[in-house]
Structure 1
């Protein structure tokens, strides 16, 4: 692949992989917790949490990116504090691309895991509780193994979504080659240059291959894990 891609294209691909892996990996624990809360909790105002989680799927990505810029930009209420006390900057940095990808892919992850949690028979967890196991131990030894196919499916689908994220990313961190230019941003940049159709088509083909590959891997891995759990 290194021979097929130019250094600029290769840099954009590697940055997309880096951004997607970090975005999905860091948001996974929160995604599991939110999915369990939405599936099992019974409390007033839960609809608001559900709406906030799925809001990025409904809003135009540019609006989400603008909201991130207002909140996590250097003059934003959160961004200013993070830069002052932790030296962490998101706006126009690759870390901002990670944040944008995490926000946009989070609803898909939560939805897949939530469906898996709702499919678990609560009686199995109750049986473990009656034997004296704590809630955390019940979750780690009973619930988590049973929802593992959903976790894997959500993880891979979120990764594919993060790889293809464009609108929120370019609004929040711009399109700086070698710094914030991910694969979709590079495709967009090539489309603005006369005679660069082949480069854009090449990167688009890679994006399609990654997305299809992620869907296939998600289905295969989830089925294998489900079979192992069913035969345990």
Structure 2
């Protein structure tokens, strides 16, 4: 009986992609994908997605550790706020960023007056918008991995005299590596496909803020064949990202099961 709803669910996911393939003009595909606008959008998407992923790692790892190793009502509230971009419409996130960092926002006005810096409608705005929507994916992955592994190895390392930074570097970080890999790939994929927050906060300026999803939207009104070709490119990239992230996630699960066998080795390294 489960095959019936499973087949419907599979069809709901697969058939739209099939429809995209049927509509694609494969004869013009190389021409459409190598146009100046398409290449500019692809280059900008890749560059900003990489930068936002780096920002997610640098900011999200400490945040995940703090959330996983703390407790109390305030931490639960902070966790809900951190995960808010997962459920908010991206356009709302873009508006929030605009009212924070725009010329009329309190922080944007301060930056403009004191340093002459204007963030909206720049490439930096694209990176900020992508980081805003993508970082929760990394935080969720890392916090779950930390909670599953527990803090017993960190406590043992601390009792052996290791300082907090050494414990983080030699014990906590190795525990996070499998989840960090899959979380970073998922963050990259989310940043690459970001649309709503980007167009609201950064606009759609070719070569500056018009990423691949924005180019698809722009071409949908001018050249539907080009829009379909770019959409197919995004689908291919998404499939590749999932293929890369999924094995790492499984490796992370295996690493969690093997933690009991490797804990003694980690503590001996810390003692050394």
With the length of structure 1 as denominator, give the TM-score of the two structures: 0.91
Q: Tell me the equivalent position of 2:97.
A: 68
The 5 A counterparts of 1:79-228 are: 79-193=108-222, 196-223=223-250
Q: Distance in 2 between matches of 1:25 and 1:188?
A: 27
1:85 is displaced (CA, Å) by 3.7
Give the secondary structure class of the aligned counterpart of 2:149. coil
Structure 2 gaps of 5+ residues are 1-28, 263-272
Shift of residue 228, structure 1, vs aligned partner: 7.8
* Deviation readout 1:130-156 (Å, 9 max, x if unpaired): 110011111110111011111111111
Answer yes or no: is the 8 Å Cα contact 1:12–1:178 preserved in 2. Answer: yes
Task: Kindly name which structure, 1 or 2, has the bigger radius of gyration based on alpha carbons.
Answer: 2
Kindly indicate whether the alpha-carbon contact (under 8 Å) linking 1:12 and 1:183 is maintained by their aligned counterparts in 2. yes
Separation in structure 2 between the aligned mates of residue 204 and residue 185 of structure 1, nearest angstrom: 11
SS at match of 1:140: helix
Q: SS of the counterpart of 1:45?
A: helix
Q: Unmatched 5+ residue regions in structure 1?
A: none
CA distance in 1, matches of 2:145, 2:122: 35
Partner of 2:9: none
SS of match in other structure, 1:138: helix
Secondary structure, counterpart of 1:41 in structure 2: coil
Please, which moves more after superposition, 149-158 or 40-49? 40-49
The answer to whether the 8 Å contact 1:89/1:95 transfers is: no
Q: Deviations over 1:86-120 (max 9, x none)?
A: 44322111110110000001111110111111121
- The match for 2:42 is 13
| Structure 1 Cα separation of the partners of residues 155 and 224 of structure 2 | 59
The alpha carbon displacement at 1:72 in A equals 0.6
What CA distance in whole angstroms lies between the structure 1 residues aligned with 2:107 and 2:63? 22
Q: CA deviation at 1:44?
A: 3.7
Query: Structure 1 residue aligned with 2:62, among 26, 33, 49?
Result: 33
Contact 1:101/1:162, CA 8 A, preserved across alignment: yes
- SS of the aligned residue for 2:200 comes to helix
CA distance in 1, matches of 2:158, 2:30: 54
SS of aligned partner of 2:83: helix
Displacement of 1:61: 1.1
Task: Report how many residues are paired.
Answer: 230
Residues 42 and 227 (structure 1), Cα distance of their counterparts in 2 relative to 1, 3 Å cut:
closer
- Contact preservation (8 Å) 1:2, 1:10: no
